[in-house]
Structure 1
């Protein structure tokens, strides 16, 4: 089944037939297959001052990341039929993680099966071995083969050389990839020409954006879903002894304004205040010595660095799922569409931040899976070292593969599948089939 590949190593990415080859730079260790997703390889060679100068600073790139990332229910159904069972369109089977580390190893976890398995079953119960590379393209054993049928999308963190032949091939196969810079900030996405297009749906999507009333209906429901999931997180930790009752009551009081907001700007203001209250509860949830405050441009401590990096991963994951649907990613409803950004991914991600990103961060910090040793601090900002980013990526992919028993579909659906389903629910609303209801976590 198609899988997501997170590539940290540096080198060249080339095509040969129906196979991609990751050719490591000379001097690196040969490619090896790793059976455990928890194994760590050595970090890539450190850049020289000249190489580092070629990269934008986090202050500059946080603004780029926020080009995709401005902070700001009920059970679901498909558009017309059940999810497909195979191929790149597979939603109910989560994509596995293949992390190509600096050591050259593939760290693989197979995808979760919506039709089977246990709820919340650990996705790394099974592993897959790396494919052997062809000698003709091998750089003294330093080439890693990746069959094109095995790729759903790519997340590129290392310095890789690509050519137009490869880009054309990825576009032909409908494989998007997302690029992150040296500091781990989102740089951009390669979004292949859409094949799953609908002129009628595009007209309806634009119509719902232009009509202020129709747009507000969708935006309000997105905020309702986001609030429900934020509120549920706080209730979870309150029931486990955290002193956050005041924050919960303040959020509940502020949430009443969601229904009375008469414009997108007013609704965004309410959503922003709810999140401000929510982030204030991090002090108790994470048992911090000093009050926590969300700082984005640039992040000033480890928690903010984790939030910024994790949000970027979620935006990219949401964009990959939007690509599999007829939706146009540049036309959004809560966030204002703008030049050079896929703003619909921001709308979808708002609903899933509490479920995927925030819960992951609580786990990483409360279990000391990421510590201050994983943070590299520079003048006025903070960012994660390579080792810390790998830990986050593995945990992020594990959450995307985690399955939940769907109450209406009567089968397990992965978190990645829920993101796709959210897109299809929006399609049904735009087509007038049924009103859109944002996901409200019940588990």
Structure 2
């Protein structure tokens, strides 16, 4: 099994990455800030406008180390990776499988997402039992349970999208109630994406972007084409299958954000507010976020399917392997990750 992902995050907007003597070198204003042996790197996430040198990109392509370019505000731009070495027959099987089983996979994915939403709420209720009689939370739990049943009975992707959208709206209407120890809860009214309009949305968007990049890397590792999905429509340049897979991991992103907020690891001073109304994590906020994110990825859980202890950072790789087995016909179904 692949080692726990050694991911390099470049958060300084003025950083430039280059290669020297088999080291990744980070420069700011021409001054060397960091040198890291290239053999220790498995993934690069760059939040810089300046990017990296052709020599470094060539080395990453050669060694199959993906470079993810993300805007300083957290929007995914592009990914540079080497030649895909996956089995071509697996990719043909992937297309055939998703054509035949796409609706079933989508229904299970949405059902798992809604189930994980319920578990996220219940986790907060364990710590804050006074919220158990909150009208909004009670109504949300009822809507999510009903949504799970409707999702399993959906007859088309279009109807499934409608069910998911209604449940997401209900879930996020209660999300601020789950923030129990931070004044930033008062700024969150509903989910806003492009751009996020408050600190809580900024944190959610940032976490989802990182998780999607992890899923894309994992899918490519097992030989699946991350651009060919079963639920999200095909779009040039979009990792549609990674967008599909991240649905089952959104709960981990949301729990992580709630932990940051409720333990007051993140505060108002960690955000920049733009004249347009957009709110982004500033550099200090990103550093705090990413430090805790990497710590979280090293924590272990017992995987419900393979019954082995797995670091959170390897969950996308485990699920990608399970999906590849389903595509190859080695298993009868693909079971998404379910939060316990």
TM-score normalised per structure 2 = 0.89
- 5 Å-filtered alignment, 1:241-256, equals 241=129, 242=131, 243=134, 244-256=137-149
Partner residue of 2:292?
395
Q: Distance in 1 between matches of 2:223 and 2:70?
A: 26
Partner residue of 1:286?
179
Q: Distance in 2 between matches of 1:222 and 1:160?
A: 37
Computed over aligned residues only, the root mean square deviation of the Cα atoms, in angstroms, reads 1.9
Partner residue of 1:439?
337
Q: Distance in 1 between matches of 2:216 and 2:197?
A: 27
Among 152, 159, 168, the residue aligned to 1:259: 152
The 3-state SS of whatever aligns with 2:279 is: strand
Confirm whether residue 198 of structure 1 aligns to residue 87 of structure 2: yes
Q: Distance in 1 between matches of 2:188 and 2:26?
A: 45
1:176 touches 1:320 (CA, 8 Å); kept in 2? Answer: yes
1:299 touches 1:308 (CA, 8 Å); kept in 2? Answer: yes
- 5 Å-filtered alignment, 1:161-310, equals 161-195=51-85, 197-211=86-100, 214-239=101-126, 240-241=128-129, 242=131, 243=134, 244-287=137-180, 288-289=185-186, 292-310=189-207
Partner residue of 1:63?
none
- Residue 412 of structure 1 deviates from its aligned partner by 1.9
Partner residue of 1:420?
317
Q: Distance in 1 between matches of 2:155 and 2:256?
A: 34
Q: Distance in 2 between matches of 1:225 and 1:342?
A: 20
Alpha-carbon spacing, 1:406–1:296, altered in 2? closer, same or farther (3 Å) = closer
Alpha-carbon spacing, 1:158–1:206, altered in 2? closer, same or farther (3 Å) = same
- Residue 232 of structure 1 deviates from its aligned partner by 0.7
Partner residue of 1:22?
26
Alpha-carbon spacing, 1:143–1:282, altered in 2? closer, same or farther (3 Å) = closer
Partner residue of 2:10?
7
For 1:233-258, what per-residue CA distance to the aligned partner results, in whole angstroms no more than 9, with x for missing partners? 11112233223222111211222101
Confirm whether residue 151 of structure 1 aligns to residue 35 of structure 2: no
- Residue 292 of structure 1 deviates from its aligned partner by 2.1
- Residue 193 of structure 1 deviates from its aligned partner by 1.5
Structure with the greater relative contact order (CA < 8 A, sep ≥ 6): 1 or 2?
A: 1
Q: Distance in 1 between matches of 2:188 and 2:57?
A: 46
The 3-state SS of whatever aligns with 1:165 is: helix
Q: Name stretches of at least 5 consecutive residues in structure 1 with no aligned partner.
A: 27-138
Q: Distance in 1 between matches of 2:305 and 2:289?
A: 32
Alpha-carbon spacing, 1:374–1:290, altered in 2? closer, same or farther (3 Å) = closer
Alpha-carbon spacing, 1:161–1:202, altered in 2? closer, same or farther (3 Å) = closer
2:108 touches 2:152 (CA, 8 Å); kept in 1? Answer: no
For 1:307-353, what per-residue CA distance to the aligned partner results, in whole angstroms no more than 9, with x for missing partners? 11111111111112122111001100111111111111111111001
Confirm whether residue 374 of structure 1 aligns to residue 270 of structure 2: yes
Rg bigger for which structure?
A: 1
Q: Distance in 1 between matches of 2:58 and 2:261?
A: 41
For 1:382-415, what per-residue CA distance to the aligned partner results, in whole angstroms no more than 9, with x for missing partners? 1111111111112222222211134565542011
* Structure with more helix by fraction: 2
1:302 touches 1:372 (CA, 8 Å); kept in 2? Answer: yes
Q: Name stretches of at least 5 consecutive residues in structure 2 with no aligned partner.
A: none
Q: Distance in 2 between matches of 1:185 and 1:348?
A: 18
Q: Distance in 1 between matches of 2:70 and 2:188?
A: 30
TM-score normalised per structure 1 = 0.69
Alpha-carbon spacing, 1:231–1:304, altered in 2? closer, same or farther (3 Å) = same
Q: Distance in 2 between matches of 1:405 and 1:254?
A: 28
Q: Distance in 2 between matches of 1:354 and 1:407?
A: 16
Alpha-carbon spacing, 1:334–1:382, altered in 2? closer, same or farther (3 Å) = same
For 1:252-279, what per-residue CA distance to the aligned partner results, in whole angstroms no more than 9, with x for missing partners? 1222101111111111211122211111
Partner residue of 1:92?
none
The 3-state SS of whatever aligns with 1:398 is: helix
The 3-state SS of whatever aligns with 2:272 is: strand
